[in-house]
Amino acid sequence: MELKTEAASIFWKVVGGGDKGGILVRAEQDVKSIEERERLSTGALIEERQLAGDRLHYVLRSGAGPSCGWVSTKLKDKALLVKIESDPIDAGNADSAKDLAEPQCAQVPGEPFVFYHQVTFLDSKPTGVRMSACFCIMDETRCDVNACCDQSQKRMSQVTDPHVEVALELCPAIQRVGKDAVAGGLLLTMPWIRSEGKWAWPKFPLKVEEENLFSVGKNKSSTQRVPIATGRFRKAFVDEATGGMCEEEKFAKDVEKFYSELKENHSSDHLNVSQLNLLYPSRGQPFVPTIFKKVAWKMTYSFCDCWSRFYHAKVPELLWEVNTEAGGPFAKLVEEEADPQAVVMKLDKQMELGTTYDVLCYLDEATRKANYLFLPAGVQDKLKVVLAVCALYDWESAPEDGRSLSSEDISITDTKGRLPLYKYAVGQETKATPLVDLAKLPSPGL
């Protein structure tokens, strides 16, 4: 995993916008670029990523508002931001560092970590709430969780925890969330979604998360709990200075202290696994594709995060574009419902803005299950796969609890599991495995 080394952190505090609920945030440096729907709250603490004149590219560290974006440091002669000369996350000032933020809700030790999100128009689609919105809500929960972490562990400022494996299952009930709001005309009130998270640290440098989403209706304090999604994530701690996994001798104690409160109050033993496939039942059935198609896909601005890298939450929209481009049976997968019912992804390497990728697409028409491998255009190297995805589009057969994924669906995205799919695409001989049987495809070769 290759990450760029960053200089010492520079922090700013938002001092403007007190009478308007905060200051404007835009998606790009240009002051005419897309305006974010939320403002950056007055009093928020942000970390500088890039400073271009009066325009600042930031990452939110505490407070409310978009997690990243571009803001102005001043408006005419009025300061909107002030630079904090000393690092607020100073190991010698643990108390003030701890006060940088508080969780959105009062948390109960021994219970899941709770976060609430009110559905917005950006979250919606004609058939309920988007899968990508579920991913984003889970990301918002992670940001809120940081308020429970020990911010005095200064070394953690050079640590990131990118996703390695991701699995998300949607319940059929998600297709009904928000529909009554749309039918209400000007009386509409968007519903609330409750996120409940648990964590485990099975083996350094790994972390495993589980987040469950529930629709609670239009009243945030309602006791209603309608399950709509379950996501599980395997993440790895990365040392940004080297671009490699964090060394246990160097970082283990810092990680332990950083997450001490979260471990004590919101951890779960059942997540203590080194591979996500161990959390899913085996169905003993291999993937048997009947159609293969290769298409090209270019990563555009709408798919990148604030570091200009691919944002995992956009996988559903990415698959929609790929399926539409592939046409035929692939396009039919997304005719009535744009999102898959369940998805697994293995993020092996960073995907960069403006890069074109070859996408190897496989579909089992009978089960409406598809697998996709993404490689840089023109590259034929099994080790160069940047993203592997298994997607289930069979909404009609989905159980009410959404639990449709199997351990085989998780394992097929691994390097070994997906190998037959890669070998077929480059014209190499393949043999059936417990995960893949290509007998129904024509002779290999592009």
Domains, the chain, with CATH or none: 11-84 (2.30.30), 94-279 (3.10.129.10), 291-425 (3.10.129.10)
Which pLDDT does position 180 carry in this prediction?
Answer: 58
What average pLDDT does range 281-306 have in this prediction?
A: 94
| Alpha carbons within 13 A on the beta-carbon side of 326 | 26
User: For the chain, percent helix, then strand, then coil, each to nearest 5?
Assistant: 25, 30, 45
Question: E strand or H helix at 435, and its extent?
Answer: none
Residue 185 confidence class, pLDDT cut points 50, 70, 90: low
Within 8 A by CB and 6+ apart from 173, the residues are 215, 226, 227, 228, 400
Q: What is the pLDDT of residues 349-388, one digit of tens each?
A: 989 889 999 999 999 999 999 999 999 999 999 999 999 9
Which pLDDT does position 446 carry in this prediction?
Answer: 44
- What's the CA angle centered on 112, arms 108 and 116, to 5 degrees? 90
- Cα of 445 vs its chain's centroid, Å: 34
Which pLDDT does position 179 carry in this prediction?
Answer: 62
Say how far apart CA 178 and CA 125 lie, in whole Å: 9
Which pLDDT does position 344 carry in this prediction?
Answer: 98
Say how far apart CA 7 and CA 155 lie, in whole Å: 13
246, 3 contact by CB (below 8 A)? no
Which pLDDT does position 76 carry in this prediction?
Answer: 86
Within 8 A by CB and 6+ apart from 17, the residues are 23, 24, 39, 40, 41, 42, 80
Q: In this structure, which amino acid lies at residue 309? A: R
Query: 315-326 vs 131-145: helix axis angle to the nearest 10?
Result: 160
310, 351 contact by CB (below 8 A)? yes
Q: What is residue 325's DSSP assignment? A: H
Strand, helix or coil at 277? helix
Within 8 A by CB and 6+ apart from 19, the residues are none
Residue 151 confidence class, pLDDT cut points 50, 70, 90: confident
The string of DSSP letters for 30-50 reads STTSPBPSSPBPTT-EEEEEE
Tokens standing for residue 298: 């270019």
Tokens standing for residue 393: 């589009």
Adjacent-strand bridge partners of 229? 170, 213
- Of 6 and 20, the structure prediction assigns the larger pLDDT to 20
Within 8 A by CB and 6+ apart from 156, the residues are 149, 254, 255, 258
Q: What is the pLDDT of residues 103-142, one digit of tens each?
A: 888 899 999 999 999 999 899 998 999 999 999 999 999 9
What average pLDDT does range 44-64 have in this prediction?
A: 89
> What's the mean per-residue pLDDT of the chain?
90
Q: Pairing between strand 128-129 and 124-125?
A: antiparallel
Question: What is the share, in percent, of the chain residues with pLDDT greater than 90?
Answer: 69
Which pLDDT does position 309 carry in this prediction?
Answer: 83
364, 288 contact by CB (below 8 A)? yes
Tokens standing for residue 281: 């039942």
174, 339 contact by CB (below 8 A)? no
User: Phi first, then psi: what are they for 429, rounded to 5°?
Assistant: -65, 140
Q: Which of 83-92, 305-314, 334-343, 347-356 has the highest mean pLDDT?
A: 334-343
**Residues 118, 124, 128, 132, CA torsion sign:** negative
- Cα of 174 vs its chain's centroid, Å: 18
Three-state SS across 141-193? HHHHHHHHCCCCCHHHHHEECCEEEEEEEECHHHHHCCHHHHCCHHHCCCCEE
Residue 241 confidence class, pLDDT cut points 50, 70, 90: confident
Residue 96 confidence class, pLDDT cut points 50, 70, 90: very low
Which pLDDT does position 87 carry in this prediction?
Answer: 57
A 10 A CB-CB count for 273 gives 16
Adjacent-strand bridge partners of 25? none
Tokens standing for residue 362: 């496989």
What average pLDDT does range 79-86 have in this prediction?
A: 83
